Amino acid sequence: MQEENAFQMPLIGDVAPEFVANTTNGTIKFPSDYTGKWVILFSHPADFTPVCTTEFMTFQSMIKEFNDLNTEIIGLSVGTLTGHLAWIEAIKKLKYRDWSDMDITFPIIDDMNMEVSKKYGMIHSHSSNNKTVRAVFFIDPHGIIRAILYYPLTTGRNFDEIKRTLIALQTTDAFGVATPADWLPGEEVVVSAPSTTQEMKKRLSGTDKNIDVKSWFLTLKKLSEKEITEKLHKRPNSKK
């Protein structure tokens, strides 16, 4: 039996739930303020916590890399605006890795009433009733949720994987391909499997020298990192 206050988590392919929220960068209306851009919306358990601090500094260190991919970052926790601002100021005084005097420039949502957290299924009751887990939502320029990652409170996120996932999604949209296990830009991509007997026979004939046919259902082709970079950086990315 579901709890009375249970909320349905949004799923991959759903329209991102709308909200208006106060942030450290002012009021935002989501997703309308971000139309035409990709967004990584992430939650963290609390301000002034060690793992979250390392994550914020890592996100900030990569902000230009994400912006170059037409992507904005938005953070969220069950905390107040004043608490977020005080934490940002404290982070600026820290030295971590080779970073110091760091300004956190992306917005952090004031979600003290847990309105946004509940809409996005960021509160997992068996973990905590008042802290968000480490959720990551990849939302495309049309406001559609394209991927979701969850990490527990104790485990910091893998930022190489976050960027890899973003590029993989954008590559799928830009080139109409899929990406295999552990794919990195520059490696072979997956061509869609044939859907008819005629297409299958043509695929197996070996006449197309631009593809590597492992089997009729597994076909790869080369796609250089340069091609991907030029296309993803050339124009705003959109779902076909």
For residues 240 and 227, what is the distance between their CA atoms, to the nearest angstrom?
A: 18
Catalytic residue among 40, 41, 52, 122, which? 52
Write out pLDDT tens, residues 37-96. Answer: 999 999 999 999 999 999 999 999 999 999 999 999 999 988 899 999 999 999 999 999
Annotated catalytic residue 52: yes
- pLDDT for the residue 185: 96
What does the pLDDT average to over 232-237? 67
Q: So where are the chain's domains?
A: 19-158, 170-234
- Residue environment code for 33-42, b if the CB has 16+ CB neighbours within 10 A, otherwise e: ebeebbbbbb
pTM of the model: 0.91
The residues that bridge with 134 in the sheet, in sequence order, are 151
Domain 170-234 has CATH 3.90.1150.10: no
Fold match between domain 19-158 and domain 170-234: no
- pLDDT for the residue 236: 54
* Assigned CATH class of 19-158: alpha beta
